[in-house]
Structure 1
Amino acid sequence: MNPEELDAYETDLELSLYREYRDVVRLYRYVVETERRFYLCNEVEVTPHDGDDLWFELQLEDAWVWDMFRPARFLKQVRVLTFRDVNVEEMIHDDAEVADFFDE
C-alpha cells in the first residue's frame, strides 16, 4: 500500500467511525475521556486512589469506545487505570441532531 492509499484508507475508517458515533451517541448518558481513549457509557464510577501518586480507577458499563482500529466497539464492561486526567460529562439530549459534517 502506498502512502496515498494508506491515507485514504485511514480517512475512510475515521469517517465511518464518526458516522457510527453520530448514530449511537443518543444511546448513552456519559462521555468519558482519558489520555488514551474516548468512551460513551451509561454507568461510570471513578475511584481516586491515594498513595505516593494519585491515580484513578474507572469502571464503565454498557460502553462504546472511539477506536477506528478496534473491530468491536460496543463493550459490556471497561476498567481503566490511569495516573492522568480523567474527564466525565453527563450529556443532556435534546431534539437537536448531531451535526453531519460530511455529506453521504
Structure 2
Amino acid sequence: MSAEDLEDYEADLELQLYREYRDVVGLFTYVVETERRFYLANSVDLKAHHDDGEIYFELTLADAWVWDTWRSARFVKQVHVLTFKDVNIEEIAKSDFDPVRSIR
C-alpha cells in the first residue's frame, strides 16, 4: 500500500465518520470535548477533584457516541473519563435540527 493509498483510506474513514455524526447528532443532548476525544451524550456528570495541588476532572457519560475513526462500535452505554485538561460541555440546541427552520 502506497502512502497515497493510505491517505485516501484515512480520508474515506473520516468522511464516513462525519456522515455518521451528522446522522446521529440529533439523537443526543450534549456535545463533550476532552483533550483526547469528542463525544455526544444524553447524560453528563462532571466532577472536579483536587489532589496535592493538582486538579483533574472525572467525567461520566451515559448513552454516548464516540468520535473515533478506528473504533468499530461508537455507540457506548457508559463512558468514564479522567482528564487533567479542560472539558468543554455544550447542550445541543434542538432548534438547530428543525428542518423547517433550517430552510428559512
TM-score greater than 0.5 by the shorter chain: yes
Please give the residue correspondences for 1:1-104 in structure 2 after superposition, counting only pairs within 5 Å.
Answer: 1-52=1-52, 53-94=54-95, 95-96=98-99
1-side partners of 2:71 and 2:62: how far apart?
A: 18
Q: Say which SS state the counterpart of residue 39 (structure 1) adopts.
A: strand
Q: What is the CA RMSD across the aligned residues, in angstroms? A: 1.1
Point out the structure with the larger strand share: 2
Q: Say which SS state the counterpart of residue 50 (structure 1) adopts.
A: strand
2-side partners of 1:50 and 1:96: how far apart?
A: 45
Deviation at 1:51, TM superposition (A): 1.6
Output the TM-score relative to the length of structure 1: 0.90
Task: Name the count of aligned residue pairs.
Answer: 97
Indicate the percent of aligned positions where both proteins have the same amino acid. 63
Deviation at 1:93, TM superposition (A): 1.2
Q: Say which SS state the counterpart of residue 54 (structure 1) adopts.
A: strand
Deviation at 1:96, TM superposition (A): 4.6
Please, which runs of 5 or more residues in structure 1 have no aligned partner? 98-104
